[in-house]
Amino acid sequence: MPELPEVETIRRDLKDKILNLQIKEILILDNRSLKGESVKKFKEDLEGSRFIDIERRGKLLIFKLSKKDKFLLVHLKMTGQLIYKNKKQIIAGGHSEKKDDFNLPNNHTRVIFKFSKDKELYFNDLRIFGYLKIVNEKQKDNIVDNNFGFEPLGADFTLENFKQILKNRKISIKALLLNQKLIAGIGNIYADETLFLSGVRPARRVDTLKEEEIKKLFLSIKKILKQAIEKRGTTFNNYVDSSGNKGNFIKYLKVYGRQGQKCKKCGSEIKKIKHAGRGTHYCPDCQK
């Protein structure tokens, strides 16, 4: 579920919470989340080090370590969560109590980072599709270069470049939006929402798109992602931010998950089909 806006929300929040704290200990509750990496090496690389920056490419989080030439990659895939907990939260003047709103660790906790000052970060992942991986800079650059296309909110994602991506392709626009190697970070929810805002049906082949539609799509991608970041992402099922709170964008969804309900724009019934292997939602009247 976490797509670009959710991952970006986590990135921004975590930067404020865990940057430059010493990692005292790593607890690995389920080594399947390391996807075959050596548990021993993983702990050695992290313990005693600090995160000095957190970046994002598409849906991938990149933690830069104080240890030379080491990066931690975290992909949440469908059900991964990164939740921060400050066990000893002391509030100045404080009679204030920390709300104990989530029990951690829980059944889905796979890795725990223990920092100085009793601060902790929990990696939870119900389905264990997500992963944590330590790489050097060259490996990181290779992974990013080979698997991640334009950053949709980046300055180099221009209308011209978008047109270049569309050129000579015969795939549907939805399949294109979901292809991380072309544009990185859009998943099922924001693909459907982008297409609704653009008035374009998901199954439209990109070589049939008119100039006006391409322009609209380009602007809609940026607009939807920016709005979703402002609302701290969408919680449909599993997603929570690094404080354990839900995202607010669900209130603004126009088509995703609204099959059988009335289109907010024209009143027609929102349809759900399977397209490009995914549940796909659209308004048959607003989208052509």
Partner DNA sequence: CTTCTTGTTACTGA
Partner DNA sequence: ATCAGTAACAAGAA
Q: What is the contact surface with DNA in residues (CB under 7 A)? A: 1-3, 32, 58-60, 75, 77-79, 107-108, 126-129, 147, 168-172, 175, 178, 180-181, 187-189, 205, 236-239, 274-279
Query: Smaller CB distance to DNA: residue 14 or 189?
Result: 189
Residue of 56, 59, 85, 133 marked catalytic: 59
Among 78, 46, 84, which Cα is nearest to 59's? Answer: 78
Hey, what are 163's tokens?
Answer: 């047109």
- Distance, in Å, from the CA atom of 164 to the CA atom of 66, rounded to the nearest integer, reads 39
Q: Is 2 a catalytic residue?
A: yes
- C-beta closer to DNA: residue 80 or 220: 80
d(CA 238, CA 189): 13
- Give Cβ neighbours of residue 198 (< 8 Å, ≥ 6 apart): 213, 216, 217, 220, 287
Q: Are 64 and 54 in contact (CB under 8 A)?
A: yes
CB-wise, 36 or 93, nearer to DNA?
A: 36
Q: Which is nearer to DNA, 7 or 65 (CB)?
A: 7
| Cα 202–chain centre separation | 21
Task: Look up 215 and say whether it is catalytic.
Answer: no
Instruction: Judge contact between 8 and 62, C-beta under 8 A.
Output: no
Least distance between DNA and beta carbon 172 (Å): 5
Tell me, yes or no, if 11 is annotated catalytic: no
Shortest reach from residue 141's CB to DNA, in Å: 15
User: Which one of 3, 8, 120, 193 is the catalytic residue?
Assistant: 3
On the 0-12 / 13-18 / 19+ scale of CB atoms within 10 A, 275 is middle
Active site residue 110: no
Integer Cα distance of 86 and 158 in angstroms = 41
- Our CB check for DNA shows the closer of 7 and 46 to be 7
Residues marked as catalytic: 2-3, 59, 278
